Structure 1
Amino acid sequence: MSFLLESHDPDTYRRTSRRVALAMAGQLIVFGLVFTQLISSAFGSSFWLNALGVLLGLVATSLVVMALRDRPWMGPVRYGWQLKQALSRVSGYLPALRRGMEEGDERALAVLAFYHQGMAQLADLEGRTLDDDAELLAERQRVRLARQAQGLPERVDGAGDADLAAFKRG
């Protein structure tokens, strides 16, 4: 899967994410209560039947979210989910990518640049700062300097599985 970095307004992202999270929590509560009541009225009340009602509520909430995820108003939230997934995928390769960076591998430098740009964008979208992670900032600077030394542009547009295929998960 290939992922391209996009520009999103942090305020819109946070506002939409909050609304979606509250709506999902509300749906889970309502669906859980409805299913628990239906099961209790049909079969009696027990802990396991109540847990089944909550589980059915979770399944129903998940189905609703899956049905709505492609709506235009879900765009910022969907982008955030996909960005987190892409960064998580890259983080599994970080040791191999760091070795590649030390060897001067352009592909490793591109993926690491994407990773650091993505981390910075995610922090910006979520209203956090990366100032407290000295290791991450130092590595980001090393990647920037290594890319400059090789005459590569500072920014990359994205990364994909093909970029990671050359590296063993570490």
Structure 2
Amino acid sequence: MFEIQPMNAELFRKQTRRSTVIIALIFLALAMVLSTAAVALFGEPGGDNLRFNVGGVFVAVLLMVALMRGMFWSQAWMAPAVYGWQLKRSLMSITNVMHQVTAAVETGDPTAMKLLRFYHLGLSQMHELDGNSSDHGQLSREVEQHKARMEALGLDTEQTQLNPAWLEAVKQTPK
């Protein structure tokens, strides 16, 4: 279950830039070392060694995937980037069924209303973290209308957790 956490946008951007630079530098070093090693071991002096260079880069990509999943993902310096990825992934899971969510909200389905509220809160945070204020302004009217409708029905508007059961329930609603 994903939960929206309060974050300082400036600090978030600074930390994600730093982790991106670290990952890029590690990848470049691996790609260079592995390509050079492949050419030295299997290449021909003065010959066409493109396939060995490409092979070294490909192995570096595979190694980076393994490092990301196995080592880096749980490191403290990656936490903001991981959080951002999880937030965007959660929002995308709702976007994929948005037509069903909006249809269920129109019928007054409380589960769909909670799901849409989480989506609004998550999208607002994503825009803030990404420094994208133009998209946020366009959404505010819809967000406020939905919040007022939830309050009128006595539903909690602080939907900071995405319950996967909500998604499943909305997916089961007729299209």
Give the TM-score, by structure 1 length: 0.89
Of 21-30 and 97-106, deviating more is 21-30
Please state how far the C-alpha of 1:72 moved relative to its aligned partner: 2.6
SS at match of 1:155: coil
Which is richer in helix?
2
1:54 paired to 2:57: yes
1: CA distance, partners of 2:136 / 2:68: 34
Q: What whole-Å deviation, never above 9, does each CA across 1:21-59 have from its counterpart, x for those lacking one?
A: 111111111111111111111111433222111111112
Q: How does 1:1-170 map to 2 (within 5 A)?
A: 2-44=1-43, 45-66=48-69, 67-131=71-135, 134=138, 136-168=139-171
Large movers: runs of 4+ above 6 Å: none
How far does residue 99 in structure 1 lie from its aligned partner after superposition? Answer: 0.2
**RMSD (Å) for aligned C-alpha atoms:** 1.9
Identity of aligned residues (%): 26
Cα displacement (A) at 1:105 = 0.5
Q: Are the structure 2 counterparts of residues 83 and 132 from structure 1 closer, same or farther at C-alpha, using a change threshold of 3 Å?
A: closer
Stretches of structure 1 that go unaligned for 5 or more consecutive residues are none
Gaps in structure 2 of 5+ consecutive residues: none
Q: Secondary structure at the match of 2:171?
A: coil
Looking at structure 1, the residues matched to 13 and 41 of structure 2 have their Cα atoms a distance apart, in angstroms, of: 42
Distance 1:62 1:23 in 2: 14
Partners of 2:127 and 2:135 within 8 A in 1:
no
State the secondary structure of the residue aligned to 2:132.
coil
What are the superposed Cα offsets for residues 79-130 of structure 1, whole Å, 9 maximum, x if unpaired? Answer: 1111111111111110000001100001001000000100111111122214
